């Protein structure tokens, strides 16, 4: 990732600073951030700064550019050793059930936090629509470290596995997987919500409250494409949805929590302070982190749509995804 060309267009209006807890902590705007290579790995890559910037400067790209130019990559490899061990060549990958034209791609964290739901969804789509499933990491957590050799190899291996299975369409359950894979591989990528709409699966027996508090995942904040795909399934609830748009991230974005635990904790505390009667998500990573931090009223929209009941399994998340290697 190269430094964005428009960084010097900054007019120092401080809209980004007011929107971002990370920029606020260090009292810097995006132009100043572009000079702080010491803070390369402290940004949550949430995109909130770009959304409010009148010059369309992208703080996520600034962070990734700073990471790309980081000279001591050995230090990064040591610091993120556990992440790299698991995901640079995903140790739990499983393509045994991917021999169909369309396949489900749950990603790492849906199968971590909702293992029973992952099995039920796989069963429904296999039996009723001849759609298989593949368990793999999309590569985004590694890409965010800006170690290019690993990222390129992950993408190459995913494409190779898909080609061997003659897969023509990948159906993502995770918004991070969707936005990361779509511009990087040649195979058609769609969201699970688009597929539900295409297949005409009826959303019934969903008991939504009058006010639906919806936490948007970072990659969908700007275009809101996945949110709009969800609303196509429940148009009658469009006016019920209240977006939570004053919290930058669930706390797990950008691998930044390693360096900014206080900011990540602040996101959680701010959400807790709202005392919401309900909290809806469509990202399993958000759901898992909220539940882990004792926000226990989290509901994943996909489970509600398919009438699947499962409590979040955050305490056994690693074991849960490991088991899918043998599914």
User: Which residues, 6+ apart, have CB-to-CB distance to 134 below 8 Å?
Assistant: 93, 94, 95, 97, 98, 103, 104, 105, 161, 162, 165, 167, 170
For residue 165, which of 195, 209, 143, 133 has the smallest C-alpha distance? 133
pLDDT at 314: 77
C-alpha 261/C-alpha 129 separation (Å) is 44
pLDDT-based confidence at residue 8 (cuts at 50, 70, 90): very high
Which pLDDT tens digit goes with each residue over 249-296? 999 999 999 999 999 999 999 999 999 999 999 999 999 999 999 998
C-alpha 120/C-alpha 123 separation (Å) is 5
pLDDT at 316 over 80: yes
The distance of Cα 306 from the centroid of its chain, to the nearest Å, equals 21
Mean confidence (pLDDT) of the chain: 96
pLDDT-based confidence at residue 135 (cuts at 50, 70, 90): very high
pLDDT at 207: 82
For residue 103, which of 128, 124, 122 has the smallest C-alpha distance? 122
pLDDT at 47 over 80: yes
pTM: 0.95
What mean pLDDT is predicted for residues 160-178? 97
CB 263 within 8 A of CB 21: yes
C-alpha 241/C-alpha 233 separation (Å) is 13
């Amino acid at each position: 990732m190269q430094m964005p060309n428009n960084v010097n267009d900054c007019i120092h209006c401080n809209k980004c600073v007011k929107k971002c807890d990370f920029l606020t902590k260090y009292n810097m705007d995006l132009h100043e951030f572009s000079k702080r290579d010491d803070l390369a790995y402290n940004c949550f890559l949430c995109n909130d700064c770009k959304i409010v910037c009148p010059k369309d400067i992208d703080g996520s790209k600034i962070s990734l550019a700073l990471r790309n130019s980081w000279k001591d990559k050995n230090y990064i490899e040591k610091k993120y050793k556990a992440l790299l061990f698991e995901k640079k060549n995903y140790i739990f990958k499983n393509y045994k059930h991917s021999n169909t034209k369309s396949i489900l791609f749950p990603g790492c964290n849906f199968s971590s936090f909702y293992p029973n739901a992952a099995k039920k969804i796989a069963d429904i789509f296999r039996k009723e629509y001849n759609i298989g499933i593949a368990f793999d990491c999309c590569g985004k957590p590694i890409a965010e470290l800006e170690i290019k050799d690993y990222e390129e190899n992950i993408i190459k291996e995913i494409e190779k596995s898909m080609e061997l299975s003659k897969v023509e369409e990948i159906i993502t359950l995770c918004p991070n997987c969707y936005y990361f894979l779509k511009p990087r591989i040649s195979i058609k990528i769609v969201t699970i919500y688009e597929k539900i709409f295409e297949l005409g699966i009826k959303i019934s027996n969903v008991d939504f409250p009058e006010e639906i508090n919806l936490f948007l995942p970072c990659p969908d904040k700007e275009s809101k494409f996945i949110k709009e795909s969800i609303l196509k399934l429940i148009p009658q609830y469009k006016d019920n949805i209240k977006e939570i748009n004053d919290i930058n991230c669930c706390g797990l974005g950008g691998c930044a929590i390693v360096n900014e635990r206080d900011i990540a904790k602040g996101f959680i505390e701010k959400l807790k302070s709202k005392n919401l009667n309900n909290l809806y998500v469509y990202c399993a990573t958000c759901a898992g982190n909220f539940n882990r931090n004792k926000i226990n009223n989290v509901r994943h929209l996909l489970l509600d749509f398919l009438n699947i009941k499962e409590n979040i399994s955050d305490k056994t998340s690693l074991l849960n995804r490991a088991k899918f290697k043998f599914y």
